[in-house]
Amino acid sequence: MVRKVIILGSGPAGYTAALYTARAKLNPLLLSGDEPGGQLMLTGEVENYPGFSKGIHGPELIETMWQQAERFGAEVRYEKATAVEFKGNPLRVKVEEAVYEAEAVIVATGASARWLGLESEARFRGRGVSACATCDGPLFKNLDVVVVGGGDTAVDDALFLTKFTDNVTIVHRRDQFRASRILQERLFRNNKIQIRWNTIVTEIVGQTTVQGVVLQDVKTGKKSQLKCSGVFVAIGHIPNTEIFKGKLEMDERGYLVTKRRTETNVEGVFAAGDVQDHLYRQAVVAAGSGCMAALDVERYLQSKMDPIS
């Protein structure tokens, strides 16, 4: 059975693409991947997604998207694509022992935040630990927070958080930032920001929520404890594109390259969301690009039926 469209990924981009292609009577198959719901599943209160004036929990938002897509006929399977074959048509997606075929594929596998790898970090995700300052910063109004990292994202996050918090401490393992000069200049002028150079976070402490971090000087080995209510990990993201290496064009960081809206370099394959967006990384932006990919797929399939148009 050759399907009209297969969607890889179940975050806002994937579910929005499923919704639009389902309403277009394309009977999409969505494969959720090994992280169903993506990063929203690790997000507590979402206050900046339009339509929810009182906010909504990340997992609840994902469940609402899933139910809406299924209502219009999208088929959702909790399976992970392990390989793809994009030479010729139909396009093929392998899932363990099964192989699905389709005329078009939308890649919406997202990007995963880089974490510190601490057990305590995993325990407090969504309870004071976050990888998205733009998403969760307003929840820490008038509180002290820590930002871990030294690149553009970390410095930008620290500056953003000063709009809400009383005090921001940047913890960086080196003695200088990798961030752009203009961002560093803004940071050094901001009296709400303190910097702990040559320092790493070895543990996050608290009861039900974050209450502080254990810091270690990388030169002396000396440990100390810093009180805070939130920890923002800003050490980068990893696009979930491993199975597309050698199959689709990527940039030097592994993000898929799109041309003419959501088209990849392979005919019939489209990309949406954080898998091709390393700048905005917002749920509403991902949902918008999922809509774009769905509309592009609809036009693509129509052009195959009616080449003259």
Q: Which pairing describes strands 237-239 and 269-271: parallel, antiparallel, or unpaired?
A: unpaired
Which own/partner pairs from 42-48 qualify as long-range (CB within 8 Å, at least 24 positions apart)? Answer: 42/125, 42/126, 42/131, 43/126, 43/130, 43/132, 43/135, 43/136, 44/126, 44/127, 44/136, 44/139, 45/136, 45/139, 46/135, 46/283, 47/138, 47/139, 48/134, 48/135, 48/282, 48/284
In the structure encoding, which two tokens stand for residue 202, read together? 């070895």
User: How many Cα atoms occupy the beta-carbon half-sphere of 255 within 13 Å?
Assistant: 19
How far is Cα of residue 43 from the mean position of the Cα atoms in its chain?
11
Question: Of residues 135, 156, 274, 296, which has the active-site annotation?
Answer: 135
Burial class (CB in 10 A: 0-12, 13-18, 19+), 237: buried
Where do we find the tokens 């009861």? Answer: 207
Other Cβ atoms within 10 Å of 115 Cβ, number: 14
Question: Of residues 136, 156, 274, 296, which has the active-site annotation?
Answer: 136
- Whether 135 sits among the annotated catalytic residues: the reply is yes
- Whether 132 sits among the annotated catalytic residues: the reply is yes
- Whether 228 sits among the annotated catalytic residues: the reply is no
Question: Of residues 34, 132, 144, 291, which has the active-site annotation?
Answer: 132
Helix (H, G, I), strand (E, B) or coil at 102: strand
Residues known to be catalytic: 132, 135-136
